Amino acid sequence: MSSPVVVVTGAAGALGKAVTDIFLAQGATVLAVDVDEGALSRVYGDQEHVRRVPVNLTDAINTQEMLTAVLNQTGPAAVLCNIAGGFDMGPTVHETDDAMWRRMMDMNVATVINVCRAVVPGMQAAGRGKVVNVAAASATTGKGAMGAYCASKSAVARLTESMAAELRDAGINVNAVAPSILDTPANRAAMPDADPGKWVALADLAAVIDFLASPRAHAVHGAVIPVVGLS
């Protein structure tokens, strides 16, 4: 029996690596997708059962071409984890320039849409699949100086709900996690006076993603699950 194929975007990042490691431990073949080819090489090297896929996910055509080529070789994905994204604080909404609006929407929304265009049709043909997106706990309501980010992550939550309604009859579960601050080296460096013990451990968030990608979540559709640690 061939190993299941799992697509993880943002795979060279801290959360992407934690999620990839969980699926590798379960015997999956992971398509590790990231814009940074050098980082993919540093993180995974020639690790067995990892296919490195360097691609700019904001480029719809390139994403379609690259992922289609790999999936034609591996077979359709059983799981898609849309982890690629980004965060920027900003000025007030009326002072936020077009470049920041585009950057947040490209990084957090276009990446999800472009990858789903490439991956979901194979799931539909196979009659099964799990899609897990990453929204944000801070985007359940608007926050000052975070308008562009909150809007983009709120869009991810709404896309998750729409896709769940569209795809459940095809045997595909679409859900999302909504974490607060992640305990990563980058966040510790950016907020040296904060208490990371109140943040979300990568292993804890990866465990929730693993649950949503598992048969145990077969009855869960369109959930946006808060994962907020002790904060």
Global pTM reads 0.97
* Residue carrying structure tokens 């690629």: 84
Distances (CA, A) of 85 to 27, 82, 119, 229: 26, 8, 18, 20
Closest by CA position to 122, among listed 77, 84, 180, 65? 77
Q: Kindly state the average pLDDT of the residues 194-220.
A: 97
Q: Which fold has domain 5-227?
A: Rossmann fold (3.40.50)
Give the pLDDT band (50/70/90) at residue 1: low
Q: Kindly state the average pLDDT of the residues 92-116.
A: 98
Residue-range domain boundaries for the chain: 5-227
Q: Kindly state the average pLDDT of the residues 53-71.
A: 98
Would you state the pLDDT for residue 230? 78
Give the pLDDT band (50/70/90) at residue 2: confident
Q: Kindly state the average pLDDT of the residues 91-118.
A: 98
